[in-house]
Amino acid sequence: MTDADAAALEGARAALRDAASRLAAAGAREEALAELVEPRPVLGIARAPRMRRIGRAWRLGALLLDADGQLWSTGLSTRVAEPGRPQHLSSSAEQRRAFRAAALRGGFRMGETVNHGIVPIPLDESLIGGDGPLRIRDGEATVRWGTDAPVPLERYLADLGDLLSHPPEGA
């Protein structure tokens, strides 16, 4: 690890903590973080999966940021609603219905957004030359969202943090 990469890593940690502080102070909307739990069968009878709450975070595009500055890459997002009954629609529609039902069984409130299938992003040397959404290359921390070119982390956090802190009217 070069000195420039080490400085970029420390700068990224500081930028994430600062962004979390700004979002908390602004009262920006948070979303729930959860993991899907498949309970063990009881007396050979399968039980339905549920979502277990693991925290809250702000959604910043390809990243989920919690109040401590910890990051996750986004996974799946479910809006909690009555799951309804199986309609034998497409498999993706039935999967979304199953996720809504698992969120309700996990105790999430109606209308809440629940992120699951998320992956923690360690804020360590693995970011240097990595290929995840947050990476450090040539002494600069950048975020890659979708197929767009990488954006410097501080600009990314400023842009999306401002949008989350001051959402457009009606959003």
Q: What confidence score (pLDDT) does residue 87 get?
A: 67
Query: Are 86 and 75 within 8 A, CB to CB?
Result: no
Cα angle: 143, vertex 130, 67; to 5 degrees: 50
Q: What are the structure tokens assigned to 159, written together?
A: 């842009």
In one letter, which amino acid is 69? Answer: G
Q: What confidence score (pLDDT) does residue 88 get?
A: 67
Q: What are the structure tokens assigned to 37, written together?
A: 């739990």
What count of other Cβ atoms lies within 10 Å of the Cβ of residue 109?
10
Report the interhelical angle of 3-26 vs 153-165 (nearest 10°).
0
Give pTM, 2 decimals.
0.86
φ/ψ (deg, to 5) at 155: -65, -40
Residues of the chain with pLDDT under 70: 86-89, 170-171
CA gap 11, 79 in Å, rounded: 34
Instruction: Please give the C-alpha separations between residue 41 and each of 88, 91, 132, in angstroms, as whole numbers.
Output: 25, 24, 36
Helix (H) or strand (E) holding 113: strand 113-116
Q: What confidence score (pLDDT) does residue 1 get?
A: 74
CA gap 101, 28 in Å, rounded: 27
Q: Tens digits of per-residue pLDDT, 108-158?
A: 999 999 999 999 999 999 999 888 899 999 899 999 887 778 999 999 999
